Amino acid sequence: MRVVIAEDHALLREGLVALLNGVGIEVVATADTGPGLLDIVTEHAPDLAIIDVRLPPDFSDEGIRAAIAARAVHPELATLILSQYVEPVYTAELLDSPGGGIGYLLKERVSDVTEFVDALRRVASGGTALDREVVTELVRSRSATGGQLDALTPRERETLALMAEGRTNAGIAKVMVVTLGAVEKHISNIFTKLDLPDTDDDHRRVLAVLTYLRTTT
Amino acid sequence: MSNEAAPGDPGHRTATSPLAFALALAALVALATTGIWAATGSGYFWPGWVMLGCAAVVAPLAWWSHLSGRPNTPRTRVWWHLDITATLTVALLLIWVLSGAQGPWVFWPIFSLVLLLGLHALVDLRAEVPQLRARQLQERVDTLSRTRRQAVDAQAAELRRIERDLHDGAQARLVALAMQLGRAEVSLAHEPEAAALVRAAREEATVAIQELRDLARGIAPPVLADRGLVAAAASLADRGHATLTVTNTNGGRRLPPAVENAAYFLLAEALTNAAKHAPGAAVRAELALEPDRLVVDVVDDGQGGADPNGSGLQGLRARVEALDGRLTLTSPAGGPTHLHAELPCE
């Protein structure tokens, strides 16, 4: 897997490069500004871009805008956003931008190397990795204001949250410490209750869930 | 009533030029007569009378240039009176000296003139004292409002700077630390006990990062600092199932940080309350960005009966009032609940 990194903080950038090299992932180039990202993506055609949200020159949401710009030019580009905070607006914007796999993780998730690399591979292969904080935020605000999510049992809601993070059924079973069959049952109940089409594709599954989360009232 | 002419006004300066002319002429006449007097044998100093005549012409000109154009206030009237009194006193003294300083008669007219002036000042200026106090109070209020606004703005800007410093400093270093610990944990896979210690340290660092993040979010959510109030409000409304109307985007111009923060937390609190106390009710949020103020309205179709003295609302009121704004809540039993706030932003 060939990766580029856009991160202005030297300590984090070098830490990421070392971490990825340690697990056999090749970092072909790094940038420390939003516009710099587009240049290295164009030059190296990587499989995946890891992007910090706050980048020079504005130190606001440069990373998101750079990601969307890069995906507009290179639609196949898989994109993983790293941020020190969760902002559902930014996630929604990314999900709306067409292209390859998408991830939005809090920066400290990087410290759990196994999970992080797992998420990287999922995004690089066209899947999704959303931080559980993003999902929790969305699910909580939806259920706080009523709506169809009220129909779900707590276990089903937990399953939905894990699904939205981008996990496979086996991954969900492991986290919830239940059998694969129990997870499949939860999921089929969720699809029934939320009136969502069932599909084997992880990414489309998450998109369907998030579309529901974003648009339902 | 005309405006008070400040010293150095153009009107004031043109008024002095006839005075300067008259002064120069008078000086010339005084010099010439003194010369003639000296040349003709220096007897009785008769040029003094000529000078007195000149002074009688110059003095009214001097009053005029001093006071013309001033509004007819008690203070101006007293000034006129003072000028006239001073001129007459000088004239009397001159006459007294020129006529050989015979006896103390000159004391009485001067005494009467000064007494009259004193009475006039007492009567006329006393009426001005409350006005003066009112003006001083007004100036004080203006100063206090301005400095408080500056303090509130400075505080908001400072908090955002702290948030940014946390993000770029402590948070980033903790993330780097957690990352290093994560790598150490991987490389210690063959020594489970050491790996468990490192894992515990990594999890501790993660908790610290989480706490710092909560702290930073309490200052101002990133989307507010990054994109401004309209975007942050849209995010809030989206998450709270409210419909948001923005009646004027003000050309995308950013509001002062203190106003943005106050309006954001106002909306957040109102939407949270609506979700808590009026679940399922339709909620409308409106932002009107007028040239000199921001108007925020949040209306829900719930059952009403909200407590206007609840602690959340008190906190919001304090925030709004620190900006010289107004906050009102109407929530009759049966609804609707309407929170209305106006935040001035020059």
Tens-place pLDDT, residues B100-113: 888 888 889 999 99
Domain boundaries, chain B: 10-133, 149-219, 224-344
Most confident option among A101-115, A159-173, B159-173, B229-243: A101-115
Q: What is the mean pLDDT of residues A95-111?
A: 86
The pLDDT tens digits of the residues spanning A137-163 come to 666 555 544 556 677 788 888 888 788
pLDDT at B280 over 90: no
Q: Note the pTM of the prediction, 2 decimals.
A: 0.65
DSSP state of B171: I
- C-alpha to C-alpha distances, A17 to A50, A107, A109, B176, B183, nearest whole angstrom: 11, 14, 15, 12, 12
In sequence order, what are the beta bridge partners of B330?
Answer: B338
pLDDT of residue A140: 59
pLDDT of residue B5: 40
Q: Is the peptide bond before B336 cis (omega within 30 degrees of 0)?
A: yes
How high is the ipTM of this complex?
0.79
Partner-chain contact A141 B240, CB within 8 Å: yes
Q: Describe chain B by its helix, strand, coil percentages, rounded to 5.
A: 70, 10, 20
Closest-CA distance of chain B to residue A72, Å: 22
Structure tokens belonging to residue B332: 């009759």
Cα A157 to Cα A137: distance, rounded to the nearest angstrom: 13
Q: Which is more confidently placed, B249 or A44?
A: A44
Cα B322 to Cα B146: distance, rounded to the nearest angstrom: 12
Q: What is the mean pLDDT of residues B329-340?
A: 89
Closest-CA distance of chain A to residue B135, Å: 46
Cα A135 to Cα A172: distance, rounded to the nearest angstrom: 14
**Neighboring chain B residues of A114 at a CB cutoff of 8 Å:** 186
> Are B253 and B328 a contacting pair, CB within 8 Å?
no
pLDDT at A117 over 90: yes
pLDDT of residue A158: 84
pLDDT at B14 over 70: no
pLDDT of residue B76: 84
pLDDT of residue B12: 47
Number of Cβ atoms within 10 Å of the Cβ of A178? 15
**Neighboring chain A residues of B276 at a CB cutoff of 8 Å:** 144
Substitution target in B160, B174, B179 with the highest count of A β-carbons within 10 Å is: B179
Separation of CA B193 from chain center:
65
pLDDT at A105 over 80: yes
Q: Is the peptide bond before A57 cis (omega within 30 degrees of 0)?
A: yes
Interface residues on B facing A, Cβ-Cβ cutoff 8 A:
164, 167-168, 171-176, 178-183, 185-187, 202, 205-206, 209-210, 213, 216-217, 221-223, 225-227, 231, 234-235, 238-241, 275-276, 279-280
pLDDT at B257 over 50: yes
Q: Which is more confidently placed, A59 or A123?
A: A123
Q: What is the mean pLDDT of residues A194-200?
A: 60
Cα B263 to Cα A104: distance, rounded to the nearest angstrom: 28
pLDDT of residue A199: 56
Lowest mean pLDDT among A137-151, B256-270, B308-322: A137-151
> Are B60 and B19 a contacting pair, CB within 8 Å?
no
Residue type, B71: P
Contacts 24+ apart (CB under 8 A), A40-44: A40/A4, A40/A6, A41/A4, A41/A70, A41/A73, A41/A74, A41/A77, A42/A73, A42/A74, A44/A2, A44/A4
pLDDT at B1 over 50: no
Residue in this structure with the two tokens 């944990």, named with its chain if needed: B185
Question: How many residue contacts between A and B have a Cβ separation below 8 Å?
Answer: 104
Partner-chain contact A88 B205, CB within 8 Å: no
Q: Mutual orientation of helices A132-144 and A88-96 as an angle, nearest 10°?
A: 100
Q: Which is more confidently placed, A82 or B41?
A: A82
Average per-residue pLDDT for chain B: 85
Partner-chain contact A145 B275, CB within 8 Å: yes
> Are B230 and B224 a contacting pair, CB within 8 Å?
no
Of B164, B206, B223, the CB nearest to A111: B206
Structure tokens belonging to residue B204: 């501790």
Q: Which is more confidently placed, A209 or B184?
A: B184
DSSP state of B254: P
The pLDDT tens digits of the residues spanning A13-44 come to 999 999 999 999 999 999 999 899 999 999 99
Lowest mean pLDDT among A202-211, B197-206, B236-245: A202-211
**Neighboring chain B residues of A84 at a CB cutoff of 8 Å:** 167, 171-172, 175, 209, 213
Of A9, A87, A147, the CB nearest to B222: A87
Structure tokens belonging to residue A146: 């009523």
The pLDDT tens digits of the residues spanning A54-94 come to 888 878 888 999 999 999 999 889 999 999 888 777 877 88
pLDDT of residue A38: 92
pLDDT of residue B326: 93
Count of residues making up chain B: 346
Q: Which CATH superfamily is domain B224-344 in?
A: Histidine kinase-like ATPase, C-terminal domain (3.30.565.10)
pLDDT of residue A141: 57
pLDDT at B232 over 70: yes
The percent of residues above 70 in pLDDT, for chain A, comes to 82
Interface residues on A facing B, Cβ-Cβ cutoff 8 A:
9, 11-12, 15-16, 18-19, 22-23, 53-54, 59-61, 84-85, 87-90, 106-108, 110-114, 116, 137-138, 141, 144-147, 214, 217
pLDDT of residue B4: 41
Cα atoms in the Cβ-side hemisphere of radius 13 Å centred on B78: 17
Which domains does chain A show, CATH number per domain?
Answer: 2-130 (3.40.50.2300), 134-215 (1.10.10.10)
Cα B331 to Cα B304: distance, rounded to the nearest angstrom: 5
Q: What is the mean pLDDT of residues B18-44?
A: 86
Cα B234 to Cα A96: distance, rounded to the nearest angstrom: 16
pLDDT of residue A197: 59
Partner-chain contact A84 B173, CB within 8 Å: no
Cα A205 to Cα A168: distance, rounded to the nearest angstrom: 10
Please give the helix or strand (H or E) that residue A80 lies within, else none.
strand A78-83
Q: Which is more confidently placed, B127 or B77?
A: B77
DSSP state of B256: P
